[in-house]
Structure 1
């Protein structure tokens, strides 16, 4: 199934028709639920949210409307979700590390991951790819060009998965990639299209955003930010970055939907049960993950927070190392390991 096409179709209509009968949960919503995706249509967050939304609709018996509200590395839509009435009808979706670090970079003030109930579904990995006509045939060649020349890299911004991936690569190789020039777009999908069209040389966005362009022969993947190869049907295995940078730190990048706290308890109790009943073993989400190079890894509540904390800590503390932090992570409950 082409989930990129499916996502674009959903973007045109906003949602699918609501089912007629809700299951017998303690919360019975009486109007549509909005999930604000703070990125443009077709990107990683948008894709998977449009797979999970119909699952939630069927269980809850009401429309679940996916609303794209991009801007400022995802912080515009995130702030809108936090500013909405805390009645259970406005959620947001993202990579959890983004929601946990917006305050650290000053993009969204006075917030932390503690502001949400957490519902995870997949983990994603960034891939470094170049335009199919690029002269660079290996990741080592691209790194050398980033050190000695100029390489434009399309991402969805400094706080996106692609932006953080580029920063992590730069840090891991000693910070000497002065020729890597990031060009930002409103989402991962436009950044990937820019690389595929030759508008930029490379992209570091997520595999789920790139697989269709790689299959079509418009992008050449050079490495995946993982310690094992990326294997997706129709694509040759993509070598892990640890083949090129052995000490590269790897932490799974978890995605999900997040409901701001402050709504009636029955909202969260109901969504917990819906997640358990319908998401934890969802064939639709498994198919999406297998097709696009994601990892099916659902969780909710404390289990979800525990699972995601390694990437939250890694990204929060990396903001300090890179000089991007305006507050110390400890102010929002994240303790960085001491440097040796």
Structure 2
């Protein structure tokens, strides 16, 4: 009798293990939604769509990118913070919505509302004007901003673009009047349309306009082969690093197995030349990171912005 009970217990344990393994192997068994909290055509949107297209081939299910704008990224980011942590609703994460907004405003979510999954690209910030702008150099721009009101596009008073632009302006000795749009792409449309004088922007948003000879880059955070001859902020004695990044986070509480599967799919995608070429074509630098060391760096950067926010509020 005991022997039969033992055999039954063993059989039950094996069955549970198989069922558990099968359940885990099923992820993903339906489409995955990735919310981009910014407008279409910007760096966050473009970099996420390239990632989604590549990893869906590895995962075997559609990875659908959805733009959910509003509140300087707060609407879309909050939506995902409150989503079920099952790996089927993800958020495009970046400097602005994850590290800046939680420190410089009071959104209904925090950095700790999410589990970091992967970072796939980084992008240098730049000051951009229309091709027919009277500002032919950053020196011209500084002089113009000191002699009259110069407008500059960004994507919200508490956004990473405005925070970084303020630091740059303070060090260079000028001030601008901000005109806030839905994202970097929106600001660039206003620049080339002649509605504003300039914009702080990233290569995926301003690159197409520069290539089409509609815009000119005056200065940027680091040199890029795609934009030869453009000086850097450091060339003007401006200290600091000014750039954005793009990645994917999941709601806090998502199983580690889900994070591992998404990371593995991303690692395979990042080995494909067509994916690397796609990022290069939009001016994004591939910067694939994940795991404890990356999360440690994220936490350290978060603290830097927390200190800056405390200084500004004094």
Query: Where on the TM-score scale, by shorter chain, does this alignment land: which range?
Result: 0.7 to 0.9
- Matching residue of 1:331: none
Matches within 5 A, 1:76-155: 76-113=75-112, 115-155=114-154
- Matching residue of 1:231: 225
- Asked if the contact 1:50/1:66 (under 8 Å) is kept, the reply is yes
Are residues 94 and 110 of structure 1, via their aligned partners in 2, closer, same or farther at CA, if it must alter by over 3 Å? Answer: closer
Aligned-pair distance for 1:44?
A: 0.5
Are residues 309 and 125 of structure 1, via their aligned partners in 2, closer, same or farther at CA, if it must alter by over 3 Å? Answer: farther
Are residues 207 and 165 of structure 1, via their aligned partners in 2, closer, same or farther at CA, if it must alter by over 3 Å? Answer: farther
- Matching residue of 1:243: 235
Matches within 5 A, 1:1-340: 26-113=25-112, 115-173=114-172, 176-178=173-175, 180-226=176-222, 229-232=223-226, 235-244=227-236, 246-250=237-241, 252-279=243-270, 281-308=271-298, 311-323=301-313
Are residues 161 and 216 of structure 1, via their aligned partners in 2, closer, same or farther at CA, if it must alter by over 3 Å? Answer: farther
- Asked if the contact 1:153/1:182 (under 8 Å) is kept, the reply is yes
User: Moved runs in structure 1, 4+ residues, more than 6 A?
Assistant: none
Q: Deviations over 1:273-328 (max 9, x none)?
A: 2233333x2423321332232211101121322454565444443333333x9xxx
SS at structure 1 position matched to 2:201: coil
SS at structure 1 position matched to 2:189: helix
Query: Aligned residues, how many?
Result: 292
Q: For residues 256 and 107 of structure 2, what CA distance do their matches in structure 1 show? A: 25
Aligned-pair distance for 1:45?
A: 0.3
Q: For residues 310 and 250 of structure 1, what CA distance do their matches in structure 2 show? A: 14
Are residues 310 and 127 of structure 1, via their aligned partners in 2, closer, same or farther at CA, if it must alter by over 3 Å? Answer: farther
Query: TM-score, structure 2 length as denominator?
Result: 0.85
Q: For residues 305 and 37 of structure 2, what CA distance do their matches in structure 1 show? A: 19
- Asked if the contact 2:116/2:295 (under 8 Å) is kept, the reply is no
Are residues 294 and 113 of structure 1, via their aligned partners in 2, closer, same or farther at CA, if it must alter by over 3 Å? Answer: farther
The alignment yields a C-alpha RMSD, in angstroms, of 2.3
Q: For residues 161 and 94 of structure 1, what CA distance do their matches in structure 2 show? A: 12
Structure 1, unaligned runs of 5 or more: 1-24, 326-340
Are residues 125 and 27 of structure 1, via their aligned partners in 2, closer, same or farther at CA, if it must alter by over 3 Å? Answer: farther
Aligned-pair distance for 1:118?
A: 2.9
* Pair member with larger Rg: 2
- Asked if the contact 1:156/1:162 (under 8 Å) is kept, the reply is yes
Q: For residues 49 and 26 of structure 2, what CA distance do their matches in structure 1 show? A: 22
Q: For residues 169 and 322 of structure 1, what CA distance do their matches in structure 2 show? A: 15
Are residues 310 and 202 of structure 1, via their aligned partners in 2, closer, same or farther at CA, if it must alter by over 3 Å? Answer: farther
